[in-house]
Chains A and B, each alone.
Chain A
Amino acid sequence: MLEPRILEVRTRILKKNDELARDLRRRFVAARVLATNLVSSPGSGKTAWLQSTLTQLVTSGISVAAIVGDLETDNDARRLSQSGAPVRQIMTHGCCHLEADMIEHKLEGWSLADFEYLFIENVGNLVCPTSWDLGESLRVALLSVTEGEDKPLKYPGLFNTCDLALLTKMDLAIACEFDRQHALENIQAVRPGMRVIETSAKTGQGMAEWLALLQAKRHELPQSLELPWQDAPVA
């Protein structure tokens, strides 16, 4: 038979990642852990903000852990460890985003039930992390005032998948002639209704609002994801 035949398969190209992410989400929810995926371009202040966050939570006696992704070096993990929280580094060796199986491997040996919050600091990149679900319940885009107000318009795909935006380095806003209104309009243009918190890791601006939001999101976690419809195969 030399005639070609067409197979209509209709499958998600990232099906395996999606299935793994769904399993992770189920595990996080069952353990009552709020998993948060932080995405931004390199240098927007993810690590500084996360370090402040971890320090605040640890100081308040809240159990928290973090996984941080970079192409090379474990510098960020060492910085974040200063908070006292357990931190693990993923070195992707060139891979421009984190994938669900990398997270799964890094969780080995941790008892998720010991944590209330898990932060995943993605590789600094506003394009590639878009399509990779890591099982998070909260996806946060960080945009620093030094980057330019039109970043959301340049990277709408990523901003549109996020639940929340943090404007970082607000302490530099005046020096950078940051047009706050314009930045907020651009965020709303690509993701109408998205909540925005204005922050500074230096001054602590926005930290209380951020911690309150995390707490609320954790309380909003469903009791379980063990619903029959969740077991349907990912199409």
Chain B
Amino acid sequence: MHELSIAQRLVELALEHMRAAGAKRVVAVTVQIGALSCLQADPLRFGFDLLTQGTPLAGATLNVKVRPVVVYCEPCGQSVALPGIQNFECPICGSPATDIRQGRELDLESIEVMDAEALVPNIASVEEVPHA
């Protein structure tokens, strides 16, 4: 379950970027995950939801974009996407596929931030307000 370790780094990174931009909270996070990264979206979401509780990322949506493996095939002279990750050969000409151009991503692509605190009313403090 290394998704939890990755989610931890992701949350720290998103917070850094949020603070650097002077924003107050994060409402969405988009990541790119390569097919070769050995990462599953669901456990990543599970870890993300867990670790963001009580932080400025609480409730943020995690968008996961899965990137297929793309290799450059020398004989074909072009980049081609592989249908899976169990057979590294060019799907067009069958040559061994060793020049990997995409598929190892483990990237934070973007974050969607708000410049104000959450507008969720603090129930406890509302109850304490004395009636006029």
Contacts and interface: CB of A to CB of B under 8 A. Distances in A.
Contacts of A130: 36-38
A1 B116 contact: yes
Given A97-B2, A160-B36, A193 B96 contact: yes
B108 interface: yes
Contacts of A153: 86
A10 interface: yes
Interface residues of B, number: 38
A212 interface: no
Contacts of A12: 106-108
A128 B1 CA distance: 7
Given A13-B13, A96-B1, A128-B2, A8 B109 contact: yes
Nearest to A94: B1
A86 interface: no
Given A11-B108, A14-B6, A189 B86 contact: yes
Interface size class on chain A is 35 or more
A15 interface: yes
A232 interface: no
B9 A9 contact: no
A189 B87 contact: yes
A191 B88 contact: yes
Given A9-B109, A13-B108, A156-B36, A1 B115 contact: yes
B113 A156 contact: no
A14 B9 CA distance: 7
Nearest to A125: B2
Interface in A61-114: 95-97, 99
20 contacts: A2-B116, A4-B114, A5-B113, A5-B114, A7-B111, A9-B13, A9-B111, A12-B107, A12-B108, A99-B5, A127-B38, A128-B1, A130-B36, A130-B37, A131-B2, A131-B37, A160-B36, A188-B96, A190-B85, A192-B97
Interface of B: 1-2, 5-6, 9-10, 13, 17, 21, 23, 27-28, 31, 36-39, 85-89, 96-98, 100, 104, 106-116
